[in-house]
Amino acid sequence: METRRILSVPSERRPLGILLIAGDHARAHYAFVLATGAAALGRDVTLFATNGGCHALLADWSGLANAARDAVLVTRGVAGLATLREAAQELELRMIVCEAGLRGEGLDQRALMAGVDIAGVATFLAAVGDGQFLSL
């Protein structure tokens, strides 16, 4: 007989901070999977992108390494980055792009998707407070 574990949803709703530092599609995609999943469970989520991760918060995210992977995921029935980004906006996730990261990548702030704040790491840390942090 097979035993299955049932995972319960914790009643604690600590804020979640996700640091996206890498500029590849897989990490950006999963950052949005985690962020939208946590927000759907009622957690306050702040997604902070810096360095190569800044590309994930541009209106045109095709600058992510291996961006073509997204089309493969969609054909296999997995939510693509466009769908996840829309969900993030609908769930009112806070998205912050690092001002220094934008400059370091040579990116123009006018290219950001709607609703993204530009700030530094202190703003990110203050937003998450004593919550949990993940780094991708």
CATH number of domain containing 43? 3.40.1260.10
Q: Kindly report, residue by residue over 93-135, the tens digit of the pLDDT.
A: 999 999 999 999 999 999 999 999 999 999 999 999 999 999 9
Is there a domain that residue 4 lies in?
Answer: no
**Mean per-residue pLDDT, 28-45:** 96
Q: Which domain holds residue 33?
A: 16-135
How much is the pLDDT for 54?
98
> Are 118 and 97 in contact, with CB atoms under 8 Å apart?
yes
Amino acid at 75: T
99 is a domain residue:
yes
| Number of domains forming the structure of the chain | 1
